[in-house]
Amino acid sequence: MTASTQHAARVAELVAQRRRFVCATVVRAQCPTSARPGDAAVVMPDGTIEGFVGGQCAEDSVRSTALDVLESGESTLLRVLPGDAEAFPESEGAVTVVNPCLSGGAIEVFLEPKLPTARLAIVGSTPIADALVALGTQLGFAAEIVDADGPMGDATAVIIASHGRGEEAAITSAVEAGVGFVGLVASAVRGTAVVESLGLDDAQREVVHSPVGVDLGARTAEEIALSILAAVVRAVRVDGLTAPIGDEAARPAAVIDPVCGMTVTVVADTPHLLHDGVDYWFCNPGCRVRHAEELGAA
C-alpha cells in the first residue's frame, strides 16, 4: 500500500468514526527540504501527526498551526520559511512562520480541518420526527431517530418529538451528555410542566427549549420541522453551537525553544531537557544539544 493510499484510508476511517482532525498536504517544497509536494499527514487534537510533512522542525510548525486551524475551523495555507528568507507579505487565509533551523529550504502546507457533520438526534416515532430527519438531512445534518435513553454525547442538538413518550428520560440523557441544544415539541403549558418536573439547574435549563422552533405559524409536520431546524441552524451559525467534545484529549502545551525562539508544541517525542529543576523543550535535538552545552548539562 502506497503512502497516499494509506493516508486516504486513514482519513476515511477517521471520518467514519466522527473524529476531529486536520488534513495537512504539502503543496510546495523549495529545496533543500525533505518534504515533497503531495506528502500528506493527519494531525490529531492531541498533536499526534500521522504521515509525513517534513523534518522535525517543519513538522512542529505544522502541528502548532494545525491545532489553531482545528479550533478556528478555517482552512489555512502555512508557509514555513528559513531564517534567512526575505520578508513574505501577509495575506488572508495564510500564515507565515520563520523557522531558523531549516537548512535553507521552504515548504507550503495546506491545512484543512475535518470536523464531524453536525449530528441531529431525534426522539420519537411521529410525523414531525420523520419530517425532521428528511429536512435535516437535506440541510446537511446527520439526522437520525434515536431511543429516548440512547447515546447522545456527540449530538449537536437533540429534538424530542415523541408526544409525551420518554420525554423526561430523553431530556435528562441529553443534558447530562452536555448537548447544547435540547428541544421539546410540546405546547407552552405542557412543555413548561415537563421541564420544571426535572429539577434542572439554571445552566441545564438554559439549553432546553420548549416550545422549540421559530414562530412561523407552522401547522403541518413539515412546517413544524422547518421551524425547529431554523432555530437549530441559528444556534449553530449565530450562537456558535457545537457538539460536546467528550473525552478528547486537551490541546497540548506550547512553549518557546530557548535556542531558536520557535514555538514548540509539547508531545511525547519533543526533545526535552531537565536542568536544575527547570524543564526545557526544543524543536529538534540540535537545539537541545546546544542548550545543554551552554548550561553545562549532560
Reference 40, options 69, 64, 5; nearest CA is 5
Contact between 135 and 122 (Cβ < 8 Å): no
Domain boundaries, the chain: 3-114, 119-237, 254-295
Confidence of residue 152 (pLDDT cuts 50, 70, 90): confident
Biggest alpha carbon–alpha carbon distance for the chain: 79
User: What mean pLDDT is predicted for residues 2-23?
Assistant: 92
What SS3 state is found at 289? helix
Q: Does the reported pTM lie above 0.75?
A: no
pLDDT, tens digit (0-9, with 9 covering 90-100), for 63-92: 999 999 998 989 999 998 887 656 566 678
pLDDT of residue 238: 94
Domain 119-237 in this protein, CATH class: alpha beta
**pLDDT digit string (tens) for 28-69?**
988 877 889 999 999 999 999 999 998 888 888 899 999 999
Three-state secondary structure of 195-263: HHCCCCCHHHHHCEECCCCCCCCCCCHHHHHHHHHHHHHHHHHCCCCCCCCCCCCCCCCEEECCCCCCE
Pinpoint the alpha helices (H) of the chain.
Answer: 3-16, 56-72, 127-138, 167-176, 188-196, 202-206, 221-237, 285-295
pLDDT more than 70, % of the chain = 94
Q: Would you call the peptide bond into 45 cis, given omega within 30 degrees of 0 as the criterion?
A: no
Q: What's the rounded Cα separation, in Å, for the pair 47 and 1?
A: 25
Side chain identity at residue 236, one-letter code = V
